[in-house]
Structure 1
Amino acid sequence: MAEITEEEHMAILASLKPVARQMETYGWDTRLSELTEVQVLWLIETAVQEFREAMGEITSQSEVPF
């Protein structure tokens, strides 16, 4: 597994809530293989979009190191 930065880790954590909310509607006992293609794609797209937004916010708050 690739090493991730602290900022990436923070962005991953930020993307969990929207994905978890949707998983609650599917049911936590539901296996990934039981989801439709559309449901799986929605989860992935949501995670990626939320990650990007979180990274954008995190990096906008960072100081340029030079």
Structure 2
Amino acid sequence: MAKAKATANVELCKGCRLCVGVCPRQAIIPEETLNRKGYEIISIDLEKCIGCGMCYKICADYVFTVE
């Protein structure tokens, strides 16, 4: 059975970075790349991600999915 992993819809991201601080494995990386709305986005290091869902729980903009 595959481990759970987080994915991000960066077009919904508003660059608040709350997810970066809450990730226990430092798997969420702030980027300088902008989405279509002009916000800096994040990326996820899938090698580090344990699928804990902390990013999903803290994000008010529904950027994350954990599967």
Q: Is the structural similarity TM-score above 0.5?
A: no
Bigger share in strand: 2
TM-score, with length taken from structure 1: 0.27
Query: Higher Cα Rg: structure 1 or 2?
Result: 1
TM-score, with length taken from structure 2: 0.27
Bigger share in helix: 1
